[in-house]
Amino acid sequence: MKLTVFGATGGTGTEVVRKGLALGYQVTAVVRDPARLDVPAHERLEVVTANVFVPNEIVPAVSGSELVVSALGPHGRGPTTICRDGTASIMSAMDTAGVRRLVVVSNSGMHTEGDGVFTRRIVKPILIRVLRDGYADMAAMEDQVAASGLEWTIVRPPRLTTGPHTGRITSSVGRNVRGSFSISRADLADYVLRTAGDSALIRQAVSVAKA
């Protein structure tokens, strides 16, 4: 499989690149600064330096890919449009290249479907208020992806940790996983790549967490 990863220098993107290589995929990592990619050189790894916000620059990176993963995420808590604008550019490049399968990493924190009463009424209002700018950006991204004609999947993790891969992963389509509030980036990367061959998850939003 040929895989293209955006946001490859971030915590989640790095794990997606590593997992893709471990699975034997041909991986293209799209970055602004190659020096920030914490993955050793590999014969199946191509590092492309490009501006994700310029569709024409990233068309070559997605051309021929069977799966495109966006692990773009906001930095800090101020106003941001990185997810919205970056993903719009990625989808434009995919349309130009004739590539269909897209998986984007979002978050479960801004959603309440499936949550318990305490989480929904007490915890989430505080979380949403504190992280409102980043959540607004991701919400706009989700709306854009859902309105596209691509074969998309939105993956919504809770709090991300730097723990190891465990394989203990649970998921829920259209609603949050109840009672589990974290997942390691390594496990998240594992799940993101699992979605590639799961036709039941096409045009679905799915929450994922540690089992």
Question: 176-188, pLDDT tens digit by residue?
Answer: 999 999 999 999 9
pLDDT tens digits along 25-41: 999 999 999 999 999 99
Confidence of residue 208 (pLDDT cuts 50, 70, 90): very high
Domains and CATH numbers, the chain: 2-210 (3.40.50.720)
Q: Look at residues 154, 144, 157 and name the one whose alpha carbon lies nearest to residue 204.
A: 154
pTM of the model: 0.95
Looking at residue 77, its pLDDT comes to: 84
Letter string b/e over residues 95-117, b meaning 16 or more CB atoms within 10 A of that residue's CB: bebebbbbbbbbbbbbbbebbee
Cβ atoms < 10 Å from Cβ of 77: 11
Looking at residue 197, its pLDDT comes to: 85
Confidence of residue 196 (pLDDT cuts 50, 70, 90): confident
Looking at residue 165, its pLDDT comes to: 96
Strand partners, 171: 208
| pLDDT surpasses 90 at 97 | yes
